[in-house]
Amino acid sequence: MSVELSYAAGPTDTPLLEETIGAAFERIADLHADREALVDIASGHRWTWAQLDAAVDDIARGLLASGIKKGDRVGIWAPNCPEWTMTQFATAKIGAILVTVNPAYRTHEFAYAVHQSGMRLLVSATHFKTSDYRAMVDSTRADCPTLERVVYLDSEDWAALIDEGRSLPSPAIAERMSTLSATDPINIQYTSGTTGFPKGATLSHRNILNNGYFVTDTIDFTEQDRLCIPVPFYHCFGMVMGNLGCVTHGSTMVIPAPGFDPAVTLQTIQDERCTGVYGVPTMFIAMLAHPDFASFDLSSLRTGIMAGAPCPVEVMKRCITDMHMDEVSIAYGMTETSPVSTQTRGDDDLERRTATIGRVGPHLEIKIVDPLTDETLPRGETGEFCTRGYSVMLGYWEDEAKTAEAIDHEGWMHTGDLAQMRDDGYCVVVGRIKDMVIRGGENIYPREIEEFFYAHPDIEDVQVIGVPDERLGEELCAWIRMREGTEPLDEVSVREYAEGKLAHYKIPRYVKIVDDFPMTVTGKIRKAEMRESSAREYGLA
């Protein structure tokens, strides 16, 4: 009997979009001119597709008047706002490569992104929360010789940029668009590596336009849908799955706030009658845990996507039952793959939609390989998740060595994630290669243990990491956030709960009760930081 290998290819019946982002945007704007395209809750402003297209063109002409050429890098450093979305499409229309800068960056990281990308012009907020962007730009300007101009939002700079473009002849944008190709680079996103400097994943029109289209096509988006987007635009989740997903279907983009706020997000879903909402698991956990959750009318919801980190089974079940998201989807991917590689479907049964990351997307291939030999493994075995197809980035900006490490000679992107492919083609991520804990020779996948403790009635959230141990090499440490009004657990109570249900070596030796976890702006848990902190606290080498 032959062994079925961990390989799958997605359907190809729906053709790829072989057009630039600007061309797709204009096609949809013409088709749905009078329908609502963008809603910004903070300012109360609304745009139809025709109005949004006109606003985008105003910015595009301003950039052209500033001397921005095809392939020039234009940065944006701001929280979610309508100008962010407009700048995204304005740069796409003129072929400028948009460098999306993490709003949480400080001077060192910002200066690196500007210098490494060769950024010529920056669109920036003046401030947000504790970030004084103007002061940070001023303090690093001398170290950024390529940066010729900074345009601050909510200042005279923004109006001046638009005014400059009014002198250009009307065909200027169309003339520039005629020189562009779908395979041109259009976006650089810096990945938050745990070691060394971030790497600039370089993505083309074809990469991200198609991923946005197919991700939202998989959740049956149409021009009737209204998507609440609380995830940050600077990351693929917001700008590709969110903005480009809506644009390719004529759906309405709804910005609830500059940064995530659970109450505002819930209020926005209710007031705007949103049919979908995106979020990383921590966002859904925060919304479900809000003390006034039951008072919000979320009956308009039917779908959404949970992604960006492993999705706890219990949280997904509550999204379906308590948030009316019967067609909610789990999506899996990474910035380097535009981002989504696998996704659950709306008609999947509850088990598939809560226990897996779905199956391969259209026009893509996936496989699970032995991390040491690169051989494709039989289904059911744990190995590294790899993907190939239209979604794989062009490479890391000006870093051929790092690109070659990530993308092999056959075009496969090696993700660094440990996964299994089931007999039905659905995949399960069991952790990162670097997060796997080896305790006394036993390979332990923290995800399995986290899922077990999510079922504890007093635990709201849990993260499991490996910490150094002289005798066994590594031991397990659980960081636990308790539900409001419950008594904190300790090592003894955790062991009592797990004994007889988990193998002894999977029961955490250390238990740390916390209010929050260290995380990135996109909601990804910083496990490396947790390991360092725990090792110091417990006096481990």
* CATH number of the domain within which 229 lies: 3.40.50.12780
For residues 442 and 386, membership in a common domain is answered with no
In a domain, 396, yes or no: yes
Q: Are residues 167 and 48 in the same domain?
A: yes
Domain boundary among 421, 448, 463: 421
Q: Report whether pLDDT(476) > 90.
A: yes
Distance CA(131)–CA(16), nearest Å, equals 40
Which residues, at least 6 apart from 66, have a Cβ–Cβ distance to it below 8 Å? 121, 149, 161, 164
485 lies in the same domain as 350: no
Q: How does pLDDT run across 143-161, given as a tens digit for each residue?
A: 899 999 999 998 999 999 9
Model pLDDT, residue 522: 62
Q: Give a yes or no: residue 16 inside a domain.
A: no
**Tell me, what amino acid is at 467?**
V
Which of 49, 116, 52 minimizes the C-alpha distance to 88? 52
Is 431 part of a structural domain of the chain?
A: no
Does residue 36 lie in a domain region? yes
Under 8 Å between Cβ of 176 and 154: no
pLDDT band at 195 (very low <50, low <70, confident <90, very high): very low
Residues 166 and 131 placed together within one structural domain of the fold: yes
Q: Is residue 473 part of a domain?
A: yes
pLDDT digits (tens, 9 = 90+) for 394-447: 999 999 999 999 999 999 999 999 999 999 999 998 888 888 888 887 878 888
pLDDT band per the 50, 70, 90 thresholds, residue 197: confident
- Tokens for 369, please give them: 């390989």
Do 197 and 323 lie in one domain? The reply is yes
Q: Are residues 391 and 450 in the same domain?
A: no
The candidate with the shortest Cα–Cα distance to 63, out of 146, 176, 139, is 176
Q: β-strands 395-396, 510-513: how paired?
A: unpaired
Task: Verify cis geometry, omega within 30 degrees of 0, for the bond prior to 339.
Answer: yes
Average pLDDT, the chain: 94
pLDDT in tens, 351-406: 898 889 999 999 999 999 998 899 999 999 999 999 999 999 999 999 999 999 99
> Would you list the DSSP string of 228-295?
E--S-TTSHIIIIIIIIHHHTTTPEEEE--SS--HHHHHHHHHHHT-SEEEE-HHHHHHHHT-TTGGG
Residue type, 378: P
pLDDT of residue 310: 65
User: How is the beta sheet containing 329-333 ordered, strand by strand?
Assistant: 45-48, 36-40, 252-255, 226-228, 276-279, 303-306, 329-333, 340-343, 359-360
Helix or strand (DSSP H, E) at 529: helix 527-537
Strand 442-444 with 437-439, pairing: antiparallel
Statement to judge: residues 55 and 132 lie in one domain: yes
Residues 382, 481 share a domain: no
Q: What values do phi and psi take at 269, rounded to 5?
A: -55, -45
Q: Helices 491-498 and 446-454 sit at what angle, rounded to 10 degrees?
A: 90
Bridge partners (DSSP) listed for residue 250: none
pLDDT tens readout for residues 3-17: 999 999 999 999 999
Predicted local distance difference test score (pLDDT) of residue 194: 43
Q: In the chain, how many domains are there?
A: 2
- Indicate whether 388 belongs to any domain: yes
Q: Residue 219: is its pLDDT beyond 70?
A: yes
Are 460 and 377 contained in the same domain? no
Task: Choose one of 398, 421, 444: the last residue of a domain.
Answer: 421
Q: What is the pLDDT of residue 280?
A: 86
In this structure, are 412 and 465 located in the same domain? no
User: Could you tell me the CATH number of the domain that includes residue 449?
Assistant: 3.30.300.30
Task: Give pLDDT tens digits for 493-515.
Answer: 999 999 888 888 899 999 999 99
* Residue 521, pLDDT score: 64
With a CB cutoff of 8 Å and minimum separation 6, the contacts of 145 are none
- What is the model's pLDDT at position 196? 58
Amino acid identity, position 132: D
Last residue of a domain, one of 361, 387, 421: 421
Same-domain status, 366 and 442? no
- Is residue 5 a part of any domain in this protein? no
Tell me the percentage of the chain whose pLDDT exceeds 90. 82
Q: What is the pLDDT of residues 62-87, one digit of tens each?
A: 999 999 999 999 999 999 999 999 99
Report yes or no on whether pTM surpasses 0.75: yes
Least confident range of 99-108, 192-201, 483-492: 192-201
The Cα–Cα gap between 196 and 145 comes to 23
417 and 442 housed in the same domain: no
With respect to residue 371, please indicate whether it lies within any of the assigned structural domains. yes
Mean pLDDT for 267-288 is 95
Query: For residue 532, what are the domain limits?
Result: 436-537
